[in-house]
Structure 1
Amino acid sequence: MRLEAHWLVTLVFVAICLVAQRAGRRGPEGIAKAAASLGFLATAVHAGTGHSPHGLAVMVGLGLSWFGDVFLLSKEKRWFLAGLVAFLLGHVAYAVAFVLRGVSVPAAAGALVVLLVPAALVWRVLAPRAGSMKGPVAAYITVISTMLAASVGTVAAVGGAGILAGAVLFYISDLFVARECFVTHAYLNRLIGLPIYYLGQLFLASYGGT
Protein backbone atom coordinates (compact mmCIF):
# COMPACT_ATOMS: atom_id res chain seq x y z
CA MET A 1 0.00 0.00 0.00
CA ARG A 2 1.35 3.43 -0.96
CA LEU A 3 1.98 6.02 1.73
CA GLU A 4 -0.82 8.18 0.33
CA ALA A 5 -3.23 5.27 0.74
CA HIS A 6 -2.38 5.02 4.44
CA TRP A 7 -3.20 8.70 4.79
CA LEU A 8 -6.49 8.27 2.94
CA VAL A 9 -7.61 5.26 4.98
CA THR A 10 -6.72 7.04 8.22
CA LEU A 11 -8.67 10.15 7.27
CA VAL A 12 -11.67 8.07 6.19
CA PHE A 13 -11.80 6.58 9.70
CA VAL A 14 -11.50 10.11 11.12
CA ALA A 15 -14.55 11.12 9.08
CA ILE A 16 -16.46 8.06 10.31
CA CYS A 17 -15.49 8.93 13.88
CA LEU A 18 -16.82 12.48 13.48
CA VAL A 19 -20.10 11.27 11.99
CA ALA A 20 -20.50 8.76 14.83
CA GLN A 21 -19.76 11.49 17.40
CA ARG A 22 -22.40 13.73 15.87
CA ALA A 23 -24.92 10.90 15.99
CA GLY A 24 -24.02 9.99 19.57
CA ARG A 25 -22.95 6.48 18.60
CA ARG A 26 -20.23 5.75 21.14
CA GLY A 27 -19.42 2.25 19.89
CA PRO A 28 -18.76 3.13 16.24
CA GLU A 29 -16.97 6.29 17.37
CA GLY A 30 -14.54 4.31 19.51
CA ILE A 31 -13.87 1.72 16.82
CA ALA A 32 -13.28 4.37 14.16
CA LYS A 33 -10.99 6.42 16.39
CA ALA A 34 -8.88 3.42 17.38
CA ALA A 35 -8.66 2.42 13.71
CA ALA A 36 -7.64 5.93 12.67
CA SER A 37 -4.88 5.89 15.28
CA LEU A 38 -3.71 2.51 14.04
CA GLY A 39 -3.58 4.25 10.67
CA PHE A 40 -0.82 6.64 11.70
CA LEU A 41 1.10 3.76 13.29
CA ALA A 42 0.80 1.78 10.04
CA THR A 43 1.94 4.86 8.14
CA ALA A 44 5.08 5.06 10.28
CA VAL A 45 5.85 1.38 9.74
CA HIS A 46 5.38 1.76 5.98
CA ALA A 47 7.61 4.85 5.93
CA GLY A 48 10.36 3.02 7.84
CA THR A 49 10.26 5.65 10.57
CA GLY A 50 11.64 3.36 13.26
CA HIS A 51 14.90 2.60 11.43
CA SER A 52 16.92 5.30 13.22
CA PRO A 53 17.28 6.33 16.88
CA HIS A 54 15.26 9.50 16.41
CA GLY A 55 12.72 7.64 14.31
CA LEU A 56 12.34 5.05 17.03
CA ALA A 57 11.56 7.85 19.49
CA VAL A 58 8.88 9.07 17.08
CA MET A 59 7.43 5.54 17.03
CA VAL A 60 7.27 5.62 20.83
CA GLY A 61 5.44 8.94 20.63
CA LEU A 62 2.96 7.54 18.13
CA GLY A 63 2.36 4.48 20.29
CA LEU A 64 1.74 6.60 23.37
CA SER A 65 -0.64 8.74 21.33
CA TRP A 66 -2.61 5.63 20.36
CA PHE A 67 -3.05 4.77 24.03
CA GLY A 68 -4.00 8.38 24.74
CA ASP A 69 -6.68 8.26 22.05
CA VAL A 70 -8.14 5.07 23.49
CA PHE A 71 -8.05 6.32 27.09
CA LEU A 72 -9.83 9.55 26.14
CA LEU A 73 -12.76 7.61 24.73
CA SER A 74 -13.91 7.22 28.34
CA LYS A 75 -15.66 10.07 30.14
CA GLU A 76 -14.26 9.01 33.54
CA LYS A 77 -11.72 11.33 35.16
CA ARG A 78 -9.18 8.56 35.84
CA TRP A 79 -9.08 7.64 32.15
CA PHE A 80 -8.88 11.30 31.18
CA LEU A 81 -5.83 11.61 33.43
CA ALA A 82 -4.35 8.44 31.91
CA GLY A 83 -4.89 9.91 28.45
CA LEU A 84 -3.31 13.19 29.51
CA VAL A 85 -0.24 11.38 30.82
CA ALA A 86 0.02 9.27 27.66
CA PHE A 87 -0.06 12.34 25.43
CA LEU A 88 2.33 14.24 27.68
CA LEU A 89 4.83 11.39 27.44
CA GLY A 90 4.18 11.25 23.70
CA HIS A 91 5.18 14.89 23.38
CA VAL A 92 8.29 14.18 25.45
CA ALA A 93 9.15 11.34 23.06
CA TYR A 94 8.77 13.67 20.07
CA ALA A 95 10.96 16.30 21.71
CA VAL A 96 13.62 13.64 22.38
CA ALA A 97 13.35 12.53 18.76
CA PHE A 98 13.97 16.05 17.50
CA VAL A 99 17.00 16.46 19.76
CA LEU A 100 18.41 13.10 18.63
CA ARG A 101 17.86 14.13 15.02
CA GLY A 102 19.91 17.26 15.53
CA VAL A 103 18.81 20.62 16.84
CA SER A 104 19.87 24.24 16.58
CA VAL A 105 19.88 25.41 20.19
CA PRO A 106 19.53 29.13 19.30
CA ALA A 107 16.56 28.40 17.03
CA ALA A 108 14.89 26.18 19.62
CA ALA A 109 15.50 28.70 22.41
CA GLY A 110 14.17 31.54 20.29
CA ALA A 111 11.07 29.55 19.42
CA LEU A 112 10.52 28.73 23.08
CA VAL A 113 10.67 32.41 24.00
CA VAL A 114 8.09 33.22 21.32
CA LEU A 115 5.88 30.34 22.50
CA LEU A 116 5.80 31.79 26.01
CA VAL A 117 3.20 34.25 24.71
CA PRO A 118 0.55 31.73 23.58
CA ALA A 119 1.41 29.56 26.59
CA ALA A 120 0.66 32.45 28.94
CA LEU A 121 -2.58 33.25 27.12
CA VAL A 122 -3.74 29.64 27.23
CA TRP A 123 -2.87 29.40 30.93
CA ARG A 124 -4.79 32.59 31.64
CA VAL A 125 -7.90 31.06 30.07
CA LEU A 126 -7.55 27.56 31.51
CA ALA A 127 -6.25 28.20 35.03
CA PRO A 128 -9.53 29.54 36.49
CA ARG A 129 -11.37 26.56 35.01
CA ALA A 130 -8.88 23.76 35.67
CA GLY A 131 -9.58 23.31 39.39
CA SER A 132 -7.62 20.34 40.73
CA MET A 133 -6.15 19.84 37.24
CA LYS A 134 -4.05 23.02 37.36
CA GLY A 135 -0.80 21.11 37.92
CA PRO A 136 -1.28 18.64 35.05
CA VAL A 137 -2.48 21.41 32.74
CA ALA A 138 0.57 23.57 33.52
CA ALA A 139 2.86 20.59 32.91
CA TYR A 140 1.14 19.83 29.62
CA ILE A 141 1.41 23.41 28.36
CA THR A 142 5.12 23.38 29.23
CA VAL A 143 5.76 20.08 27.46
CA ILE A 144 3.87 20.87 24.25
CA SER A 145 5.62 24.24 24.01
CA THR A 146 8.99 22.54 24.46
CA MET A 147 8.12 19.92 21.85
CA LEU A 148 7.17 22.56 19.30
CA ALA A 149 10.30 24.60 20.05
CA ALA A 150 12.41 21.45 19.57
CA SER A 151 10.76 20.87 16.19
CA VAL A 152 11.74 24.38 15.12
CA GLY A 153 15.27 23.66 16.31
CA THR A 154 15.62 20.43 14.37
CA VAL A 155 14.21 21.92 11.18
CA ALA A 156 16.62 24.85 11.50
CA ALA A 157 19.52 22.42 11.94
CA VAL A 158 18.67 19.60 9.55
CA GLY A 159 15.62 20.64 7.53
CA GLY A 160 12.37 18.76 7.20
CA ALA A 161 9.27 20.89 6.77
CA GLY A 162 7.03 17.85 7.26
CA ILE A 163 8.24 17.48 10.84
CA LEU A 164 7.49 21.12 11.62
CA ALA A 165 4.05 20.80 10.02
CA GLY A 166 3.28 17.77 12.17
CA ALA A 167 4.41 19.44 15.38
CA VAL A 168 2.47 22.64 14.67
CA LEU A 169 -0.72 20.74 13.82
CA PHE A 170 -0.43 18.59 16.95
CA TYR A 171 0.06 21.73 19.05
CA ILE A 172 -3.00 23.41 17.52
CA SER A 173 -5.14 20.30 17.98
CA ASP A 174 -4.31 20.29 21.69
CA LEU A 175 -5.77 23.78 21.98
CA PHE A 176 -9.10 22.44 20.74
CA VAL A 177 -8.90 19.56 23.22
CA ALA A 178 -8.30 22.06 26.02
CA ARG A 179 -11.22 24.18 24.82
CA GLU A 180 -13.49 21.14 24.81
CA CYS A 181 -12.40 19.96 28.25
CA PHE A 182 -12.22 23.24 30.15
CA VAL A 183 -13.95 26.05 28.25
CA THR A 184 -16.97 24.89 26.28
CA HIS A 185 -18.28 21.52 25.13
CA ALA A 186 -19.00 21.88 21.43
CA TYR A 187 -18.97 19.54 18.45
CA LEU A 188 -17.02 22.23 16.60
CA ASN A 189 -14.00 21.51 18.81
CA ARG A 190 -13.90 17.94 17.55
CA LEU A 191 -14.91 18.81 13.99
CA ILE A 192 -11.87 21.08 13.66
CA GLY A 193 -9.48 19.60 16.20
CA LEU A 194 -9.68 15.91 15.30
CA PRO A 195 -8.69 16.21 11.60
CA ILE A 196 -5.90 18.63 12.56
CA TYR A 197 -4.63 16.14 15.14
CA TYR A 198 -4.58 13.21 12.73
CA LEU A 199 -2.94 15.25 9.99
CA GLY A 200 -0.24 16.22 12.47
CA GLN A 201 0.34 12.61 13.46
CA LEU A 202 0.44 11.54 9.81
CA PHE A 203 3.10 14.14 9.05
CA LEU A 204 5.19 12.97 12.01
CA ALA A 205 4.65 9.32 11.11
CA SER A 206 5.69 9.94 7.51
CA TYR A 207 8.63 12.28 8.02
CA GLY A 208 9.71 11.80 11.63
CA GLY A 209 12.33 9.23 10.69
CA THR A 210 13.96 11.29 7.95
Structure 2
Amino acid sequence: MVALALGAADTAAGRWLLVALALGLVGDVFLLGRTTARFQAGLAAFLLGHLAYLACFVALGLDQPAGALAGAVVALGALVAARGVLPATHRSDGPALSAPVAVYMLVITVMVVAAWTTDSWLVPLGASVFVASDTMLAVNRFVRPLPRADLLVMVTYHVGQALIVLGVLTG
Protein backbone atom coordinates (compact mmCIF):
# COMPACT_ATOMS: atom_id res chain seq x y z
CA MET A 1 0.00 0.00 0.00
CA VAL A 2 2.84 2.40 0.82
CA ALA A 3 4.45 1.76 -2.56
CA LEU A 4 1.20 2.56 -4.32
CA ALA A 5 0.72 5.69 -2.21
CA LEU A 6 4.22 6.81 -3.18
CA GLY A 7 3.34 6.50 -6.88
CA ALA A 8 4.83 3.14 -7.81
CA ALA A 9 2.28 2.57 -10.55
CA ASP A 10 3.44 5.75 -12.34
CA THR A 11 6.84 4.53 -13.56
CA ALA A 12 8.30 1.39 -15.13
CA ALA A 13 10.63 0.94 -12.15
CA GLY A 14 7.71 1.34 -9.77
CA ARG A 15 5.59 -1.20 -11.63
CA TRP A 16 8.43 -3.75 -11.50
CA LEU A 17 8.75 -2.94 -7.80
CA LEU A 18 5.06 -3.76 -7.30
CA VAL A 19 5.54 -7.07 -9.12
CA ALA A 20 8.52 -7.89 -6.89
CA LEU A 21 6.58 -7.05 -3.74
CA ALA A 22 3.59 -9.12 -4.86
CA LEU A 23 5.82 -12.11 -5.60
CA GLY A 24 7.41 -11.67 -2.17
CA LEU A 25 3.95 -11.88 -0.62
CA VAL A 26 3.23 -15.07 -2.57
CA GLY A 27 6.57 -16.47 -1.36
CA ASP A 28 5.74 -15.53 2.22
CA VAL A 29 2.47 -17.43 2.04
CA PHE A 30 4.20 -20.54 0.74
CA LEU A 31 6.87 -20.32 3.44
CA LEU A 32 4.20 -20.44 6.15
CA GLY A 33 4.31 -24.20 5.64
CA ARG A 34 7.34 -26.25 6.60
CA THR A 35 7.31 -28.87 3.82
CA THR A 36 9.92 -29.08 1.10
CA ALA A 37 7.25 -28.59 -1.57
CA ARG A 38 6.06 -25.35 0.03
CA PHE A 39 9.67 -24.20 0.43
CA GLN A 40 10.29 -24.89 -3.27
CA ALA A 41 7.15 -22.95 -4.24
CA GLY A 42 8.20 -20.05 -2.01
CA LEU A 43 11.69 -20.17 -3.45
CA ALA A 44 10.27 -19.99 -6.98
CA ALA A 45 8.13 -16.97 -6.07
CA PHE A 46 11.09 -15.19 -4.49
CA LEU A 47 13.32 -16.05 -7.46
CA LEU A 48 10.80 -14.42 -9.79
CA GLY A 49 10.56 -11.53 -7.33
CA HIS A 50 14.31 -10.98 -7.49
CA LEU A 51 14.13 -11.01 -11.27
CA ALA A 52 11.43 -8.32 -10.97
CA TYR A 53 13.71 -6.34 -8.62
CA LEU A 54 16.45 -6.69 -11.22
CA ALA A 55 14.12 -5.33 -13.92
CA CYS A 56 13.20 -2.51 -11.54
CA PHE A 57 16.85 -1.59 -11.03
CA VAL A 58 17.52 -1.71 -14.77
CA ALA A 59 14.54 0.63 -15.27
CA LEU A 60 16.02 2.97 -12.65
CA GLY A 61 19.31 2.98 -14.54
CA LEU A 62 22.51 1.17 -13.74
CA ASP A 63 24.48 4.40 -13.76
CA GLN A 64 27.13 3.57 -11.16
CA PRO A 65 29.11 0.62 -12.57
CA ALA A 66 31.82 1.10 -9.95
CA GLY A 67 29.23 0.08 -7.35
CA ALA A 68 29.25 -3.43 -8.79
CA LEU A 69 32.41 -4.14 -6.79
CA ALA A 70 30.64 -3.29 -3.52
CA GLY A 71 27.71 -5.47 -4.57
CA ALA A 72 30.08 -8.30 -5.37
CA VAL A 73 31.63 -7.99 -1.90
CA VAL A 74 28.17 -8.20 -0.29
CA ALA A 75 27.29 -11.21 -2.44
CA LEU A 76 30.59 -12.93 -1.68
CA GLY A 77 30.07 -12.38 2.04
CA ALA A 78 26.63 -13.95 1.81
CA LEU A 79 27.95 -16.88 -0.20
CA VAL A 80 30.71 -17.49 2.35
CA ALA A 81 28.20 -17.30 5.22
CA ALA A 82 25.90 -19.72 3.39
CA ARG A 83 28.61 -22.06 2.12
CA GLY A 84 27.02 -25.07 3.83
CA VAL A 85 23.57 -24.49 2.36
CA LEU A 86 23.99 -26.21 -1.01
CA PRO A 87 25.56 -29.37 0.42
CA ALA A 88 22.85 -29.48 3.12
CA THR A 89 20.02 -29.04 0.62
CA HIS A 90 21.54 -31.74 -1.56
CA ARG A 91 21.76 -34.14 1.41
CA SER A 92 18.19 -33.26 2.36
CA ASP A 93 16.40 -33.66 -0.98
CA GLY A 94 19.04 -34.11 -3.66
CA PRO A 95 19.10 -31.99 -6.80
CA ALA A 96 15.33 -31.39 -6.56
CA LEU A 97 16.14 -28.87 -3.83
CA SER A 98 19.83 -28.04 -4.27
CA ALA A 99 19.51 -27.10 -7.96
CA PRO A 100 16.72 -24.52 -7.42
CA VAL A 101 18.57 -23.16 -4.37
CA ALA A 102 21.73 -22.76 -6.48
CA VAL A 103 19.76 -20.91 -9.19
CA TYR A 104 18.16 -18.71 -6.53
CA MET A 105 21.58 -17.89 -5.05
CA LEU A 106 22.81 -16.87 -8.50
CA VAL A 107 19.78 -14.65 -9.14
CA ILE A 108 19.94 -12.90 -5.77
CA THR A 109 23.66 -12.34 -6.33
CA VAL A 110 22.97 -10.62 -9.66
CA MET A 111 20.16 -8.62 -8.04
CA VAL A 112 22.35 -7.26 -5.24
CA VAL A 113 25.19 -6.39 -7.63
CA ALA A 114 22.73 -4.53 -9.86
CA ALA A 115 21.29 -2.71 -6.84
CA TRP A 116 24.73 -1.35 -6.05
CA THR A 117 24.97 0.17 -9.53
CA THR A 118 21.86 2.34 -9.15
CA ASP A 119 22.06 6.02 -8.17
CA SER A 120 20.13 5.51 -4.94
CA TRP A 121 21.99 4.70 -1.73
CA LEU A 122 18.82 3.17 -0.22
CA VAL A 123 18.39 0.56 -2.96
CA PRO A 124 21.74 -1.19 -2.42
CA LEU A 125 21.37 -0.92 1.34
CA GLY A 126 17.93 -2.54 1.13
CA ALA A 127 19.11 -5.24 -1.27
CA SER A 128 22.04 -6.02 1.03
CA VAL A 129 19.76 -6.29 4.06
CA PHE A 130 17.46 -8.55 2.02
CA VAL A 131 20.43 -10.78 1.16
CA ALA A 132 21.36 -10.94 4.86
CA SER A 133 17.80 -12.02 5.65
CA ASP A 134 17.86 -14.79 3.03
CA THR A 135 21.28 -15.94 4.18
CA MET A 136 20.12 -16.24 7.78
CA LEU A 137 16.96 -18.06 6.71
CA ALA A 138 18.90 -20.59 4.63
CA VAL A 139 21.60 -21.21 7.23
CA ASN A 140 19.01 -21.56 10.00
CA ARG A 141 16.82 -23.93 7.97
CA PHE A 142 19.49 -26.13 6.41
CA VAL A 143 22.84 -25.79 8.18
CA ARG A 144 22.45 -24.99 11.88
CA PRO A 145 20.02 -23.22 14.18
CA LEU A 146 20.78 -19.54 14.66
CA PRO A 147 19.74 -17.69 17.83
CA ARG A 148 16.58 -15.62 17.32
CA ALA A 149 16.67 -16.48 13.62
CA ASP A 150 12.92 -16.17 13.03
CA LEU A 151 12.86 -12.64 14.46
CA LEU A 152 16.06 -11.55 12.71
CA VAL A 153 14.93 -12.96 9.36
CA MET A 154 11.58 -11.19 9.52
CA VAL A 155 13.02 -7.86 10.66
CA THR A 156 15.78 -7.80 8.04
CA TYR A 157 13.39 -8.98 5.32
CA HIS A 158 10.92 -6.17 5.98
CA VAL A 159 13.58 -3.51 6.54
CA GLY A 160 15.32 -4.55 3.31
CA GLN A 161 12.13 -4.29 1.30
CA ALA A 162 11.19 -0.97 2.90
CA LEU A 163 14.60 0.49 2.02
CA ILE A 164 14.28 -0.71 -1.57
CA VAL A 165 10.79 0.81 -1.83
CA LEU A 166 11.98 4.13 -0.45
CA GLY A 167 15.06 4.10 -2.66
CA VAL A 168 13.12 3.36 -5.82
CA LEU A 169 10.25 5.75 -5.17
CA THR A 170 11.95 8.70 -3.49
CA GLY A 171 15.08 8.54 -5.59
Q: Give the TM interval when normalised to the shorter protein.
A: 0.7 to 0.9
CA drift of 1:109 comes to 4.2
Corresponding residue for residue 100 of structure 1: 59
- Alignment of structure 1 residues 99-178 onto 2, 5 Å: 99-104=58-63, 106-107=65-66, 109-111=68-70, 113-115=72-74, 117-118=76-77, 120-122=79-81, 124-131=83-90, 132=94, 133-155=97-119, 160-178=120-138
Aligned-CA RMSD value: 2.0
When residues 201 and 113 of structure 1 are mapped into structure 2, their CA distance, relative to the original with a 3 A threshold, is closer
Residue 122 of structure 1 deviates from its aligned partner by 4.2
> Which of the two has greater helix per residue?
1
How many residues of Structure 1 are paired with residues of Structure 2 in the alignment?
165
Query: Which amino acid in the other structure matches residue 169 of structure 1?
Result: V
Whether the 8 Å contact between 1:49 and 1:206 is mirrored in structure 2 is no
Task: Find the counterpart in structure 2 of residue 66 from structure 1.
Answer: 25
Structure of greater Rg: 1
C-alpha deviations, 1:84-130, integer Å up to 9, x for none? 00011111111111111110373254345435633542453212211
Contact 1:119 1:141 in 2 (8 A): no
Deviations 1:8-54 (A, max 9, x none): xxxxxxxxxxxxxxxxxxxxxxxxxxxxxxxxxx1111111221001
Unmatched tracts of structure 1, length 5 or more: 1-41
**Contact in 2 for aligned 1:64/1:86 (Cα 8 Å):** yes
TM normalised by structure 1 equals 0.71
- Identity, % of aligned positions: 34
